[in-house]
Amino acid sequence: MTLRRRLVLSIVALVVAVSAVIGAGSIIALATIQTGAIDAQLQKATARASTKFGQGDQPEGGQRPNDDALQPLGQAAGTLTAYYVTGGVAAGIVLNEDSSRSALTTDQLKRLGDVKVGVDPATMSLGGSLGKYRVAAVQVDNPALGNAVLVVGLPMSPVYDSIRSLLVVVILVVAAALVVASIVAAVVVRRSLRPLERVAETASTVARMPLERSDALQDVRVPDTDPRTEVGRVGSAFNRMLGHIAGAMQARERSEQKVRQFVADASHELRTPLASVRGYAELTRRMGGDLPKDVVYAMSRIESESIRMTSMVEDLLLLARLDEGREIQFDDVDLTGLVFDAVNDAHAASPEHPIDVDVPSSPVVVVGDAARLHQVIVNLVTNARTHTPDGTRITVGIAPSASGAGSRPGVDLTVRDTGQGIDPEFLPKLFERFARADSSRSRTAGSTGLGLAIVDAVVQAHGGSVDVTSEPGNTVFTVHLPAEQTPDVAAAGPDAAAAEAAAPAPAAAWSEVPDRA
């Protein structure tokens, strides 16, 4: 349950509870007051009845006084009067609304006979049409009958009618208070929590932002920073946190820029001495006919290692230039032709790995850098050849991207192998620079750990993405390339290309080009 809902429900529940307590107190107070008024009326009615009954009127037939003795003038409608004498003689009447009198039943007389003399008035149910009565008993000395107990009662129906009316009023008032309290509480709580919502929206904005660059946080601030309020203190702390994050990111960017610059400068400067080492080693090996065999072998090793080191330097220099947004020249590229060229090269370099090609009959044309895309295909195929045993089947395919939520129209280039798979723990860092999973895939040749990093950098520079799924017997690298590049992406480099990858793009260009020989 949200905080807003809890607050609204708490306020409404409090209002309802207070209203219920006030209503219950009002009903109890009304019942007490009216019962007291009934008792006062009962005391007067008892005094009148006992005075009239005690005058000693001669009873008719020597059995009972007449009705005027039981119901003297001044008694209210509904008043009952009953008397009990020694020997079990009892009689009682009720004064009706039309001033007529009705006799009490035997059962009602029996119930009234249990009323004690000299105690406070009590409420009892007489049943029938009479209902509940407030009754009191007094002892009266009648000259004709002797000592008698006179019971006088007044109906409680006016009290109960008042209580029911008040209960209806209380229910209506509580219902109205509930509606009003709900509306007022919702408005007040919404306005009170609006600053907190702005803080939450800012936090959500920061969570959705790509935080590769510190300038992304410069325009994100919480306006509610009043230290006198709880939300203001949260907003102020959040802004300070954003400032610390931006500062840390700027420091990281400066450090990464220095590292990139060092790698670029070092790679550039190392190319000349490595070329010299390679040239002199090759020259010495070719001209040293009288040299010992071990010297010739040593020179050949120097030459091969210089070639390998030159390749590594070239890869580092390429990554550094890609980081700076260079090395990408966009043009129409026959992706099908690049696949055939890379597969033919792989066949020549590693004939022990069977390689299949699964491409459409019509050549696929995308917008990109032909040399860099060729390097992507070569690196993926080389990665499959290098890290799988001989005889492992490799399949290179091209297909239009599947349409659906989260996918972008374009072309999918896949490289699949049937090797032993990649360790799942290594997958998250597979495209990091110098990442190597030697323990998970067998190798027959050296690896610098830069091939897949170059693939990822080149694909991002094209505004695409690269994914990998792996299980024993089925490892698939999927390169998604957009069909077209906007001028902004073409000019801005890998960071802008990666951002552009999240935007829609037109459908892939499946165009006819002249058949290759």
Q: In the listed set 323, 340, 372, which residue is the last one of a domain according to the structure?
A: 323
In whole angstroms, give the CA distance from residue 111 to residue 4: 59
Q: What is the CB neighbour count within 10 angstroms for residue 164?
A: 11
Q: Is residue 212 one of the residues assigned to a domain?
A: no
Q: How many helices (H) and strands (E) does the chain have?
A: 11, 13
DSSP state letters, 130-158? T-EEEEEEEEEEETTTEEEEEEEEEESHH
Q: What pLDDT shows up at residue 73? A: 77
274 plus 382 within the same structural domain: no
Task: List per-block mean pLDDT (blocks of 10 residues) for the chain, which spans 517 residues.
Answer: 83 88 91 91 88 63 61 84 78 85 86 86 87 90 78 90 91 88 87 81 78 64 75 81 81 77 74 81 75 80 83 76 71 88 86 88 86 88 87 89 56 90 83 65 55 85 88 90 59 44 37 34
Q: Is residue 205 one of the residues assigned to a domain?
A: no
336 plus 480 within the same structural domain: yes
10 plus 67 within the same structural domain: yes
455 three-state secondary structure: helix
Q: What pLDDT shows up at residue 391? A: 86
Q: What pLDDT shows up at residue 198? A: 80
Q: What is the CB neighbour count within 10 angstroms for residue 386?
A: 17
Q: What pLDDT shows up at residue 267? A: 72
State the CATH number of the domain containing residue 489.
3.30.565.10
296 plus 149 within the same structural domain: no
Q: Which residues contact 399 (CB under 8 A, 6 or more apart)?
A: 360, 411, 412, 414
Adjacency order of strands within the sheet including 90-95? 101-103, 90-95, 80-85, 146-155, 132-142, 122-125
Q: In the listed set 323, 354, 385, which residue is the last one of a domain according to the structure?
A: 323
Q: Is residue 190 one of the residues assigned to a domain?
A: no
Q: Report which of 409, 414, 417 is spatially closest to residue 377, judged by C-alpha positions.
A: 414
Q: In the listed set 265, 296, 323, which residue is the last one of a domain according to the structure?
A: 323
State the CATH number of the domain containing residue 296.
1.10.287.130
16 plus 152 within the same structural domain: yes
Q: Is residue 168 one of the residues assigned to a domain?
A: no
Q: Is residue 283 one of the residues assigned to a domain?
A: yes
313 plus 348 within the same structural domain: no
Q: Report which of 313, 316, 330 is spatially closest to residue 372, judged by C-alpha positions.
A: 330
158 plus 23 within the same structural domain: yes
Q: Is residue 98 one of the residues assigned to a domain?
A: yes
443 plus 494 within the same structural domain: yes
312 plus 341 within the same structural domain: no
Q: What pLDDT shows up at residue 516? A: 35
20 plus 155 within the same structural domain: yes
Q: How many domains does the chain have?
A: 3
In whole angstroms, give the CA distance from residue 81 to residue 470: 101
Q: Is residue 16 one of the residues assigned to a domain?
A: yes
Identify the domain containing residue 268 by its residue range.
230-323
147 plus 32 within the same structural domain: yes
Q: Is residue 133 one of the residues assigned to a domain?
A: yes
335 plus 279 within the same structural domain: no
DSSP single-letter state for residue 479: E
In whole angstroms, give the CA distance from residue 324 to residue 403: 32
